[in-house]
Amino acid sequence: MDVAEQVVEENDPNLETPFVAEMLKQLRSLDSYDTYDGWSKAKIIDPLVLTKERKQEIPVIGDPDEITLARVKAYYNAIASSIEKDCGLMAVSFINITHEGFGRALIMVGKLIVVDKTLRDIHRFGFANLDKMCDQSDKLISKAKTLIEQYSEAAND
Amino acid sequence: MDVAEQVVEENDPNLETPFVAEMLKQLRSLDSYDTYDGWSKAKIIDPLVLTKERKQEIPVIGDPDEITLARVKAYYNAIASSIEKDCGLMAVSFINITHEGFGRALIMVGKLIVVDKTLRDIHRFGFANLDKMCDQSDKLISKAKTLIEQYSEAAND
């Protein structure tokens, strides 16, 4: 459990965006011990926000722990799920992380790779604030949509 | 090291096929301890052959060990490398294996997924004989080539 003081405001308007809603759904689905029972949206999403201060507390080199890996998975699952909703085709995320916290995240639609991200410093996975999380996610989703339109036959295969 | 008696004949004609040559190259490249120094081609490839008798000696349920995982990687690297030689485009293999020996192997060319195999019982990875290995590999490679021709723009992206 994260003991740091919560930085996400309870009334942050980003909490009501479709992407954060999807992200919360994915985080809850990976919460096998029901840790989040009774938690507010802001409290659940809070550990994904890595302010400068929080970042400084994490060593530059480190192994990602289980909970960080679960957050990375939740994030790419949320991206995949958003793409799926947008284009009506199944999107599957596929993540490879080495013990040193490096790796690659793919999202596939049919035979098409619509997201391909090199992952670095996964033990410090997070976003400066919810605005940034929404912006970056929207970019990935919109780039994926463009690829699906461009290569629609491969995406539909 | 495998102590079982060698089943691949030293003069098996499959040892001279392009795929087995590629497979040997990949196996050697993952052999960081130089175990294979002075070994014949037949001896190096031998553990990939899982005869009925050898298969019976392996428990039905089991965790794949490091050396088996290395062989699976070598196999899909050899497939990727063969595709690359055939089509002149970079092919990258991407393998996800859970601790229980299930997983998925992907090979990507550009933005196209040209091989997508569900992996099961990885601790018993192997082929009945070299003929089967060559046949199955040729099928994967030729299917990949067809996809690359069909979706050449995505493959070239």
Shortest CB distance from A112 goes to which of B95, B106, B154? B154
Amino acid at B20: V
Q: Which chain A residues touch B106 with a CB distance below 8 Å?
A: 94, 106, 108
Ranges of each domain in chain B: 13-155
Give me the DSSP letters along B82-142: HHHHHHSS-EEEEEEE-TTS-EEEEEEETTEEEEEEEE--GGG--BSSHHHHHHHHHHHHH
Q: What is the Cα–Cα distance from B73 to B130, expressed in whole angstroms?
A: 18
- Helix B18-29 and helix B130-150, axial crossing angle in degrees, nearest 10: 100
Asked if residue A26 lies in contact with residue A79, where contact means CB atoms within 8 angstroms, the answer is no
Average pLDDT for consecutive 10-residue bins of chain A (157 residues)? 77 96 94 90 95 88 83 96 96 84 91 95 92 97 97 96
Which residues of chain A does B148 touch, with a Cβ-Cβ cutoff of 8 Å?
none
What percent helix, strand, coil does chain A show, rounded to 5? 50, 15, 35
DSSP letters of A115-144?
EEEEE--GGG--BSSHHHHHHHHHHHHHHH
* Residue carrying structure tokens 């096929």: B17
Q: Which of A106, A108, A151 sits opposite B151 (nearest CB)?
A: A151
Q: ipTM, 2 decimals?
A: 0.83
At A1 the pLDDT is 44
Report the C-alpha gap between B130 and B135 in whole angstroms: 8
Chain B neighbors of A111, CB-CB under 8 A: 112-114, 116, 147, 151, 154
**Residues of chain B with confidence (pLDDT) below 50:** 1-2
pLDDT of residue B1: 44
Alpha-carbon distance A39 to nearest alpha carbon in chain B (angstroms):
31
Upper half-sphere CA count for residue A141 (Cβ side, 13 Å)? 22
Which CATH topology does A13-155 take?
A: Putative cytoplasmic protein (1.10.3100)
**Buried/exposed code over B53-76 (b: 16+ C-beta within 10 A; e: otherwise):** ebeeeeeeeeebeeebbbbbbbbb
The pTM for the full model equals 0.87
Are the CB atoms for A73 and A30 separated by under 8 Å?
yes
Are the C-beta atoms of B92 and B108 separated by less than 8 Å? Answer: yes
Which DSSP string corresponds to A82-94? HHHHHHSS-EEEE
Adjacency order of strands within the sheet including B103-109: A91-97, A103-109, A112-119, B112-119, B103-109, B91-97
**Do B86 and B142 form a contact (C-beta atoms < 8 A)?**
no
- Chain position carrying tokens 């990875």: B125
